[in-house]
Amino acid sequence: MKDLTVTEVRLTPILVADPPLLNTQGVHQPYTPRLIVEVVTADGVTGLGETYGDTKYLEAARSLAGRLPGRSITDLNGLLTLAEDVPLDGHTVDGSVDVGGLRGVQTADKLRLSVVSGFEVACLDALGKALGLPVHALLGGKLRDRVEYSAYLFYRWAGHPEGVAGESDDWGAALDPEGIVAQARRFVRDHGFGSFKLKGGVFPPEEEIAAVRALADAFPGRPLRLDPNGAWSVETSLKVAAELRDVLEYLEDPTTGTSAMAEVAARAGGLPLATNMCVTTFPEIAGAFTAGAVQVVLSDHHYWGGLRNTRHLAEICRTFGVGVSMHSNTHLGISLAAMTHVAATVPGLHHACDTHYPWQTEDVLTERPAFSGGCVTVPDGPGLGVTLDRDRLDALHRRWLADDGSLRDRDDAAAMRRADPGWTTPPVPRW
């Protein structure tokens, strides 16, 4: 008989190198915080999880971690209940928006769920290892052997601003349609991606329309998406929709708020709208679906509360005839594996999932998950199918320890101020 009791939980905050990717808020910091969760059982099996690592997540995770020893890794429903009692500092959860809005609304429940997801994935990984089963089997079984991902294109600088310590890479700058197409070609060459998402909201819409048009010319018939993170007014969104309707698979969060999204959706001539901003919690679903505001929900298993909740979300979407796919923020291979396992179990996954992973040159795994033909093969070994490299974890943790606190909370506007001291988060609509 296996002893599935949790005996230890290890939390390791890390800082991961991130390139200077631009978005409507600013630019990515040279290092971004993530949290690695290890759950150890009485039998010595260790499960891995990963989630957001900003201070408020870390504090909540520490509180939850202390409550796990003595419980079973199978007690995943209990984990959700346990998290409800995790105290949160009222100043860090104020009902406004998270990371300048890039992750949608900020609520106490969502913060707790974002933390729970790291623990849930770690418990599932440990359970899979203990039973000799892949995580997808614990979720009811895979429906596909490969999960397709989309190339995530960003306007970017060649390097972080002068005087800012950071890692360098050989991508060069991409600040116009030619640069974006060149970036896309490299993604195709290296990973075989067959669909493309451009992070917009950086330049005036005409320039971003031109970039999408250039992509359509370079890759005829391939699915394309544009995501300005809610930076446009309804009228601007409608103009962009009219210009790009013939080449876009969907338009992602063109404008901010459910009612504005609903207005765009109603007048966009049938172009579907996707979101990872106006539907990011269960309470937001009813209003948005009733209003017809979104046609595709991009789930982020971190903030929806884990892999099982992602499946609940997918079922709700299916009931309402709304599509589902996956959102991504800067993440490592543990989360890519988790996304791949859950995506393999979701029926009717009609859109390639988002992932930042190809932008990450560092990881905490012995072997990086690979893309082939734009897909990740669903692992069939025990658990998530990934192995922790403790030396790498320690190195990234040492970086976190050495930081004076300025990089421990993602702040793209603050990072932009290193290049442009007068920069403030642009109000929406920006255009």
DSSP-assigned letters across all residues of 163-228: T------S---B-SHHHHHHHHHHHHHHH----EEEE-SSS-HHHHHHHHHHHHHHSTT--EEEE-
Q: Among 199, 341, 351, 356, which one carries the catalytic annotation?
A: 199
- Show Cβ contacts of residue 58 under 8 Å, excluding neighbours closer than 6 positions: 11, 13, 33, 35
CB of 145 to Mg ion, least distance (A): 27
How does 355-364 read in b/e, with b if 16+ C-beta sit within 10 Å? bbbbbbebbb
Active site (annotated) includes residue 199: yes
One-letter amino acid identity for 287? G
251 binds, among Mg ion, ligand GKR, none (CB under 5 to 8 A by kind): none
308 binds, among ligand GKR, Mg ion, none (CB under 5 to 8 A by kind): none
Distance (Å, whole) CA 79 – CA 231: 37
Which runs of consecutive H residues, i.e. helices, occur in 44-107?
A: 55-65, 76-83
How many CA atoms lie within 13 Å of 384's alpha carbon, on the beta-carbon side? 30
In the bound state with ligand GKR, the residue whose beta carbon lies nearer, of 47 and 254, is 254
In the bound state with ligand GKR, the residue whose beta carbon lies nearer, of 256 and 276, is 276
60 binds, among ligand GKR, Mg ion, none (CB under 5 to 8 A by kind): none
326 binds, among Mg ion, ligand GKR, none (CB under 5 to 8 A by kind): none
CB of 227 to ligand GKR, least distance (A): 5
148 binds, among Mg ion, ligand GKR, none (CB under 5 to 8 A by kind): none
In the bound state with Mg ion, the residue whose beta carbon lies nearer, of 98 and 252, is 252
In the bound state with ligand GKR, the residue whose beta carbon lies nearer, of 289 and 359, is 359
CB of 406 to ligand GKR, least distance (A): 19
Active site (annotated) includes residue 327: yes
Distance (Å, whole) CA 222 – CA 234: 26
How does 400-410 read in b/e, with b if 16+ C-beta sit within 10 Å? beeeeeebbbb
CB of 3 to Mg ion, least distance (A): 42
Please identify which residue in the block is written with the tokens 């890519």: 336
> Which tokens in the block code for residue 263?
């207005």
In the bound state with ligand GKR, the residue whose beta carbon lies nearer, of 102 and 181, is 102
In the bound state with Mg ion, the residue whose beta carbon lies nearer, of 99 and 388, is 99
Could you tell me the maximum CA-CA distance found in the chain, to the nearest angstrom? 64
In the bound state with ligand GKR, the residue whose beta carbon lies nearer, of 103 and 136, is 103
199 binds, among Mg ion, ligand GKR, none (CB under 5 to 8 A by kind): ligand GKR
CB of 372 to ligand GKR, least distance (A): 23
329 binds, among ligand GKR, Mg ion, none (CB under 5 to 8 A by kind): ligand GKR
CB of 279 to ligand GKR, least distance (A): 12
3-state helix, strand, coil in the chain (%, to 5): 35, 20, 45
CA-based nearest residue to 298, from 318, 328, 268, 320: 328
**Neighbour tally for 204: CB within 10 Å:** 10
103 binds, among Mg ion, ligand GKR, none (CB under 5 to 8 A by kind): ligand GKR
Kind and range of the H or E element at 344? Answer: helix 333-345
Residues lying near ligand GKR in the complex (CB under 6 A): 21, 23, 102-103, 199, 227, 229, 276, 327-330, 354
Q: Among 301, 302, 327, 341, which one carries the catalytic annotation?
A: 327
37 touches 122 (CB < 8 A): yes
If phi over 0 gives left and psi between -120 and 50 gives alpha, with beta otherwise, what is residue 100? Answer: left
Distance (Å, whole) CA 268 – CA 130: 50
CB of 201 to Mg ion, least distance (A): 10
Query: Any contact of residue 276 with Mg ion (CB under 5 A)?
Result: yes
How many CA atoms lie within 13 Å of 407's alpha carbon, on the beta-carbon side? 26
Residues 205-244 that bind Mg ion (CB under 5 A): 227
In the bound state with ligand GKR, the residue whose beta carbon lies nearer, of 195 and 229, is 229
CB of 276 to ligand GKR, least distance (A): 5
Positions touching Mg ion (CB under 5 A) are 227, 252, 276
Residues marked active site are found at: 199, 327
